[in-house]
């Protein structure tokens, strides 16, 4: 989804009235490991997030019942190349939907074992803590997100809902190590580690990568 943490909304200078969403295809899913930055791109953004794994079918559920349909939570990293942000404005099909652009895991935390407003999210870049937030800092809580989405589409077991990223998201370059962890005290997802490498495959047809100073400022997170 788009904006959901108060810190990120403050950084971007806008607070949404309602959640807004986009899809990432199943082929974007990846385990911990190596992610190649597409050739010809410069602005590979990382965003540590809490991922919800749906456990039971949800159709037009009430916000108070949304959390009951979540089986587990874990760490996710919502990667995207800002260089293609303009290619599919709003939908993020090419900027965020590439193969491997959604590492997730490594450990699932049972939803019944954690409080939905008691999760801590942290992201490290080369060992430095760059993102830290609590699920209590969300503009729209987990139950609301499940309910809101279920008005339009049926959520099936195994579906994954990303819940937004806090301030501190930035750009990773080849050689960087990005790690994301979700924990509830002693219970932890473990660190989701992704090493960035330079890819050989780029874009030869259709929209081409392009950057400008304003886009770079947005990607690096220096717009606040």
Number of separate domains in the chain? 1
C-alpha 196/C-alpha 219 separation (Å) is 16
Q: Is residue 218 part of a domain?
A: no
Q: Is residue 220 part of a domain?
A: no
Residue 29, domain CATH: 3.90.850.10
Express each pLDDT in 15-46 by its tens digit.
999 999 999 999 999 999 999 999 999 999 99
Instruction: Give the pLDDT confidence score for residue 57 in this predicted structure.
Output: 98
Q: Is residue 172 part of a domain?
A: yes
Q: Is residue 208 part of a domain?
A: no
Q: Is residue 131 part of a domain?
A: yes
Express each pLDDT in 158-199 by its tens digit.
999 999 999 999 999 999 999 999 999 999 999 999 999 999
Q: Is residue 209 part of a domain?
A: no
In this prediction, residue 224 has a pLDDT band, given cuts at 50, 70 and 90, of: very low
* Residue 58 predicted with pLDDT over 60: yes
Q: Is residue 22 part of a domain?
A: yes
Range of the domain at 184: 6-198
Which residue shows structure tokens 């919502």? 78
Q: Is residue 224 part of a domain?
A: no
Percent of the chain with pLDDT over 90: 92
CA dihedral 186, 192, 193, 198 (to 10 degrees): -160
* Residue 223 predicted with pLDDT over 60: no
Instruction: Give the pLDDT confidence score for residue 13 in this predicted structure.
Output: 87
Express each pLDDT in 108-166 by its tens digit.
999 999 999 999 999 999 999 999 999 999 999 999 999 999 999 999 999 999 999 99
> Residue 59: is it exposed, middle or buried by C-beta count within 10 angstroms (0-12/13-18/19+)?
exposed
């Amino acid at each position: 989804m788009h904006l959901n943490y108060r810190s990120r909304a403050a950084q971007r200078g806008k607070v949404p009235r309602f959640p807004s969403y986009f899809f990432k295809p199943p082929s974007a899913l990846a385990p911990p490991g190596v992610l190649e930055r597409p050739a010809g791109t410069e602005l590979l953004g990382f965003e540590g997030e809490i991922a919800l794994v749906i456990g039971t079918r949800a159709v037009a559920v009430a916000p108070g019942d949304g959390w009951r349909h979540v089986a587990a939570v874990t760490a996710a990293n919502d990667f995207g190349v800002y260089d293609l942000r303009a290619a599919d404005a709003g939908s993020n099909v090419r900027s965020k939907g590439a193969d491997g652009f959604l590492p997730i895991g490594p450990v699932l935390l049972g939803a019944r074992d954690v409080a939905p407003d008691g999760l801590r999210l942290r992201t490290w870049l080369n060992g430095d803590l760059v993102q830290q937030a609590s699920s209590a800092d969300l503009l729209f809580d987990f139950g609301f997100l499940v309910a809101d989405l279920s008005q339009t589409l049926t959520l099936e077991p195994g579906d994954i809902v990303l819940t937004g990223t806090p301030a501190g998201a930035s750009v990773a370059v080849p050689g960087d190590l990005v790690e994301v962890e979700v924990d509830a005290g002693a219970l932890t997802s473990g660190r989701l580690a992704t090493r960035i490498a330079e890819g050989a495959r780029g874009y030869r047809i259709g929209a081409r990568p392009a950057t400008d100073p304003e886009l770079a400022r947005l990607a690096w997170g220096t717009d606040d």
